[in-house]
Amino acid sequence: MANNYEDDDIDSIVPIRTKIINRSKIKRPKSPKNTGKSSNVQYWLREQSLKKGDGAKPPFSPTLPISQQDAPWILSSLTYFYESDLISDVISLVKSGKEATVYCCLNEYSEDTSYVAAKIYRPSIFYNLKSTMQYRQNRGNSNVRNTHDERKRGDSEALSLVQEWVNYEFKTQELLYNVGADVPKPIAQTGNALLMEYIADGDEGAPLLQHVKLEENEALKLFNRIMNNIELFLAHKRIHGDLSAYNILYRQGAVKIIDFSQTTELKSNFRLFPLLLRDIERVCQYFARYNIQTNARDIAHTFWDRYSV
């Protein structure tokens, strides 16, 4: 996504803005058959759920119809959240990409919020070790072995690697939220799934900034707000790495930045500067339509010189 999914074309991901479904009008889907595909992945997901869930509640049977092909990994991924009283139902599909799907879930157990967003990575990421390893190396993990060695270590450690990968995304979002960045509040993480605040606009999901026509008097304010967020990220040694109007949500004159799977930790190494520059260039390109004239390279150098040492 804008995307938080590597190798995705951001232009190909279109958010699905659906109104909250009336659960009384929808028949519950029949239990899907296990096709046997990626069975080791499903075993690991169930194992993660069983480790954390007490199994005392009825089986999770969401209202939203889910295809037989997707149901096993989706239900396995969400079991922990259901067992932990963090979600009670799956209401609608928010966005679907090549490597992850985001759902709006109902939370009947919380007084603070009724809806939360669940981001679930697809089983394909479990075997996409090459690009995963490249990103981990960018994040400065000196203990990472090469892709060939990782494949030798077997599926169990590969799956643990993915869990560590998703946990990194969650911890990054948690860090940024805690320092005051405009990001959705993270709630929980398990296996290949993340749970976070659902950003709504009335009874619909908030649109991507790319799909919004701003009022002239708010464009400059939002541009400055996003630049402040980029600087705040950098002040806490983080570069988003894939920022654009396709992964910024807009709601009632405010923004929320999403998708931190490609975020890198800032090192005193100039090779990371292009990531920062690309983030700023993409934001500047979007706001150019509102006649906001900026120099992305100057902004990037100013931020870099201020926080890279």
Complete domains list, the chain, with CATH: 18-201 (3.30.200.20), 207-307 (1.10.510.10)
Rounded Cα distance between 45 and 296, Å, is 43
The model's confidence at residue 301, banded by pLDDT at 50, 70 and 90, is very high
Hey, which residues does 95 pair with through a beta bridge? 102
Is residue 283 over pLDDT 80?
A: yes
Q: Three-class SS of residue 93?
A: strand
Residue 252's pLDDT is 93
- The mean pLDDT value of the chain amounts to 79
Average pLDDT in the 97-103 region? Answer: 88
The runs of H, that is alpha helices, within 84-199 are: 129-138, 147-152, 155-178
pLDDT digits (tens, 9 = 90+) for 223-236: 999 999 999 999 99
Is residue 183 over pLDDT 80?
A: yes
Residue 28's pLDDT is 41
Rounded Cα distance between 239 and 259, Å, is 12
pLDDT digits (tens, 9 = 90+) for 237-266: 999 999 999 999 999 999 999 999 999 998
Average pLDDT in the 275-302 region? Answer: 97
pLDDT digits (tens, 9 = 90+) for 3-39: 443 344 434 434 434 454 444 443 443 443 444 444 5
The pTM (predicted TM-score) of the whole model is 0.76
Q: Which residue has the higher pLDDT, 209 or 217?
A: 209
pLDDT digits (tens, 9 = 90+) for 122-164: 877 766 644 554 555 555 444 444 444 444 455 666 667 777 8
Q: Which of 242, 235, 305 is nearest to 270 (CA)?
A: 305
Is residue 69 over pLDDT 70?
A: yes
The model's confidence at residue 54, banded by pLDDT at 50, 70 and 90, is low
Percentage of the chain surpassing pLDDT 90? 48
